Protein backbone atom coordinates (compact mmCIF):
# COMPACT_ATOMS: atom_id res chain seq x y z
CA UNK A 1 0.00 0.00 0.00
CA UNK A 2 1.35 3.40 -0.98
CA UNK A 3 1.34 5.74 2.02
CA UNK A 4 1.80 9.49 2.06
CA UNK A 5 5.07 10.44 3.65
CA UNK A 6 6.53 13.74 4.73
CA UNK A 7 8.76 14.02 1.69
CA UNK A 8 8.63 15.61 -1.73
CA UNK A 9 5.33 17.13 -2.81
CA UNK A 10 3.74 16.49 0.57
CA UNK A 11 6.03 18.98 2.26
CA UNK A 12 6.08 21.50 -0.57
CA UNK A 13 2.86 21.67 -2.60
CA UNK A 14 0.34 20.45 -0.02
CA UNK A 15 0.91 23.21 2.57
CA UNK A 16 0.75 25.87 -0.15
CA UNK A 17 -2.43 24.35 -1.59
CA UNK A 18 -3.96 24.17 1.87
CA UNK A 19 -3.11 27.79 2.61
CA UNK A 20 -4.65 28.93 -0.69
CA UNK A 21 -7.83 26.95 -0.06
CA UNK A 22 -8.13 28.20 3.53
CA UNK A 23 -7.49 31.80 2.49
CA UNK A 24 -9.97 31.80 -0.40
CA UNK A 25 -13.05 32.01 1.83
CA UNK A 26 -11.61 34.94 3.79
CA UNK A 27 -10.50 36.91 0.74
CA UNK A 28 -13.79 36.36 -1.09
CA UNK A 29 -15.81 37.24 2.01
CA UNK A 30 -13.80 40.42 2.53
CA UNK A 31 -14.27 41.43 -1.10
CA UNK A 32 -18.00 40.79 -0.73
CA UNK A 33 -18.10 43.10 2.28
CA UNK A 34 -16.25 45.80 0.32
CA UNK A 35 -18.73 45.42 -2.56
CA UNK A 36 -21.84 45.56 -0.35
CA UNK A 37 -21.00 47.25 2.95
CA UNK A 38 -24.59 48.21 3.76
CA UNK A 39 -25.68 44.57 3.86
CA UNK A 40 -22.93 43.66 6.30
CA UNK A 41 -23.53 46.73 8.46
CA UNK A 42 -27.21 45.78 8.58
CA UNK A 43 -26.36 42.21 9.59
CA UNK A 44 -23.97 43.38 12.31
CA UNK A 45 -26.58 45.84 13.60
CA UNK A 46 -29.30 43.17 13.56
CA UNK A 47 -27.14 41.05 15.86
CA UNK A 48 -27.08 43.93 18.35
CA UNK A 49 -23.35 44.56 18.14
CA UNK A 50 -22.09 48.11 18.76
CA UNK A 51 -20.17 50.17 16.22
CA UNK A 52 -21.16 48.22 13.09
CA UNK A 53 -19.06 50.42 10.78
CA UNK A 54 -15.97 49.75 12.88
CA UNK A 55 -16.78 46.03 12.97
CA UNK A 56 -17.13 46.05 9.18
CA UNK A 57 -13.72 47.70 8.75
CA UNK A 58 -12.14 45.22 11.15
CA UNK A 59 -13.73 42.25 9.40
CA UNK A 60 -12.60 43.46 5.98
CA UNK A 61 -9.09 44.02 7.30
CA UNK A 62 -8.69 40.63 8.91
CA UNK A 63 -10.32 38.78 6.04
CA UNK A 64 -8.51 40.44 3.13
CA UNK A 65 -5.15 41.17 4.72
CA UNK A 66 -5.11 37.97 6.77
CA UNK A 67 -6.16 35.93 3.75
CA UNK A 68 -3.45 37.43 1.55
CA UNK A 69 -0.78 36.92 4.23
CA UNK A 70 -1.90 33.31 4.57
CA UNK A 71 -1.57 32.73 0.81
CA UNK A 72 1.89 34.29 0.80
CA UNK A 73 2.93 32.36 3.87
CA UNK A 74 4.06 35.51 5.65
CA UNK A 75 3.71 35.68 9.45
CA UNK A 76 1.76 32.48 8.92
CA UNK A 77 1.49 31.22 12.47
CA UNK A 78 0.16 34.41 14.10
CA UNK A 79 -2.07 35.10 11.07
CA UNK A 80 -3.51 31.57 11.28
CA UNK A 81 -4.17 32.04 15.00
CA UNK A 82 -5.90 35.38 14.36
CA UNK A 83 -8.03 33.91 11.56
CA UNK A 84 -8.91 30.91 13.76
CA UNK A 85 -10.02 33.21 16.57
CA UNK A 86 -11.98 35.34 14.06
CA UNK A 87 -13.67 32.20 12.70
CA UNK A 88 -14.70 31.00 16.14
CA UNK A 89 -15.87 34.45 17.26
CA UNK A 90 -17.92 35.13 14.13
CA UNK A 91 -19.35 31.63 14.20
CA UNK A 92 -20.54 32.05 17.77
CA UNK A 93 -21.80 35.61 17.26
CA UNK A 94 -23.51 35.24 13.89
CA UNK A 95 -24.40 31.55 13.59
CA UNK A 96 -25.47 30.57 17.11
CA UNK A 97 -29.11 29.85 16.21
CA UNK A 98 -28.31 26.16 15.88
CA UNK A 99 -31.95 25.10 15.77
CA UNK A 100 -31.81 26.46 12.20
CA UNK A 101 -29.97 23.80 10.17
CA UNK A 102 -28.40 26.43 7.89
CA UNK A 103 -26.98 28.31 10.88
CA UNK A 104 -25.70 25.04 12.36
CA UNK A 105 -23.89 24.29 9.09
CA UNK A 106 -22.33 27.76 9.08
CA UNK A 107 -21.24 27.39 12.69
CA UNK A 108 -19.68 23.99 11.99
CA UNK A 109 -17.96 25.42 8.88
CA UNK A 110 -16.44 28.19 10.98
CA UNK A 111 -15.27 25.71 13.61
CA UNK A 112 -13.80 23.41 10.94
CA UNK A 113 -11.95 26.35 9.39
CA UNK A 114 -10.59 27.23 12.82
CA UNK A 115 -9.39 23.65 13.21
CA UNK A 116 -7.54 23.78 9.89
CA UNK A 117 -6.03 27.13 10.79
CA UNK A 118 -4.83 25.77 14.12
CA UNK A 119 -3.04 23.04 12.16
CA UNK A 120 -1.37 25.74 10.07
CA UNK A 121 -0.42 27.61 13.25
CA UNK A 122 1.02 24.43 14.76
CA UNK A 123 3.00 23.23 11.75
CA UNK A 124 3.80 26.43 9.86
CA UNK A 125 3.52 27.52 6.26
CA UNK A 126 5.74 24.93 4.63
CA UNK A 127 8.69 25.41 2.32
CA UNK A 128 6.81 27.34 -0.39
CA UNK A 129 6.26 30.43 1.71
CA UNK A 130 7.78 33.78 2.46
CA UNK A 131 8.27 32.61 6.04
CA UNK A 132 10.57 29.84 4.78
CA UNK A 133 12.54 32.34 2.68
CA UNK A 134 12.90 34.66 5.68
CA UNK A 135 14.14 31.93 8.03
CA UNK A 136 17.85 31.77 8.82
CA UNK A 137 19.72 29.27 6.64
CA UNK A 138 20.30 27.00 9.64
CA UNK A 139 16.53 26.64 10.19
CA UNK A 140 15.82 26.06 6.49
CA UNK A 141 18.30 23.18 6.37
CA UNK A 142 16.62 21.38 9.26
User: How confident is residue 10, by pLDDT bands cut at 50, 70 and 90?
Assistant: low
CA neighbor of 108 nearest in space, from 122, 99, 98:
98
Q: What pTM was computed for the model?
A: 0.89
Distance between CA atoms of 51 and 29, rounded to whole angstroms?
A: 20
pLDDT in tens, 84-138: 999 999 999 999 999 999 999 999 999 999 999 999 999 999 999 999 999 875 4
CA angle, 94 as apex, 89 and 96 as ends, to 5°?
A: 90
Distance between CA atoms of 73 and 75, rounded to whole angstroms?
A: 7
- DSSP helix/strand/coil, 55: helix
pLDDT in tens, 48-77: 999 999 999 999 999 999 999 999 999 999
Cβ neighbors of 132 (< 8 A, separation 6 or more) are 73, 125, 126, 140
Amino acid sequence: MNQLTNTGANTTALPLTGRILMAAIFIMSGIGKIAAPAATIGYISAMGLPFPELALAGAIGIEVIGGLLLVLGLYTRPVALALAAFSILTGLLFHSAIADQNQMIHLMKNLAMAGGLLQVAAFGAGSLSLDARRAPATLRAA
